[in-house]
Structure 1
Amino acid sequence: MDILLIAVMAANRIIGKNGIIPWHIPEELGFFKATTMGHPIIMGRKTFESLPDGPLPGRENIVITRNPDFAPPGAVVVPTLGHALEHCAGQSRVFIIGGAQVFREALPLATGIILSVLDQAVDGDTFFPAFDPHTFQETTQERFTGSLPFTVTTYRRVRPDLHPPPP
């Protein structure tokens, strides 16, 4: 199973501020939707709660939380990333969509990263984790010049056989 982190970050690695994404870029949202549509998406509770319209349609929404009483309609709730990945067994690919804690936990398991990077730095309090450029190799890059220019870079794990098995 392909385990792909997908995120948008500012030039200074910011992905959030006060629990929300501090920008709105229709072109990036369209790219995210087209890329993740039809595949399971795994996220933390805070990320799920930040979705303005609830679960993202056309994708199985899997939420990681330690709160056993959290049961939002339209989402599968699991206690750990390991449980989320077990739930997705048999899928060809799964997307990890955040937040920062889930990205950090999933990074050692990831087979790839799809990272949109804004041209500018922004103020924020939540960062996308740094990753070793020797572990992931850039495979594609696409430039978007719209309301707020950004570049989407896809990375693949250099040696997929070296990442640890899912917990």
Structure 2
Amino acid sequence: MTILTTQRLRLEPFNDSHLIGLNLVNRDPAVMRYITGKPETLEDTAAAIARVKARWAEWGFSWWSFIELDSEEIIGSGCIQYLGGDTANPLEIGWRLRQDKWRQGYASEAARRMAAFAFETIGGDRLCAVCHQENTGSARVMQRLGMQFQGIERWNEMDTAVYMMTRGEWEHPGQAG
């Protein structure tokens, strides 16, 4: 399991010691508004950690906890996974942050590092992201990463905005790939 680092964050694969920190993020209704529409219980978070640990074992990648280096606190989480959990689908990137860490560049910082992992370590040819159509903050992170809007598709039981980028677009930003 791979630990990633950025200037301000350490991205650690989910483990049991992250339960309380992850639940603090995922129990906030504002954080979950566009994801599931409801806060997570402690049991939900524990089940998610178990699923993620199994995916790390199967795929070699999944969800990381975002640990702020200055405070050593979990301030969010993010993933590289197969869209819809199906290996026939493209790789998906995703993230969520504690509300007090919004609009500080953490999501973009983590997304850049996870995208590099997807293209350079996993060797993916393309990377997609989906978000609720009203989640403009997440869509801005996708755009800053260099992803292009593809349209509206049904994922995660909702009509989502889909963004995509290819390995060529990642390696040569600003050029058609």
Shorter chain as denominator, the TM-score bin is: 0.3 to 0.5
Task: Give the TM-score taking structure 2 as reference length.
Answer: 0.34
Structure with greater contact order relative to length (CA < 8 Å, sep ≥ 6): 1
TM-score after normalising by structure 1: 0.35
Q: Pick the structure with more helix per residue.
A: 2
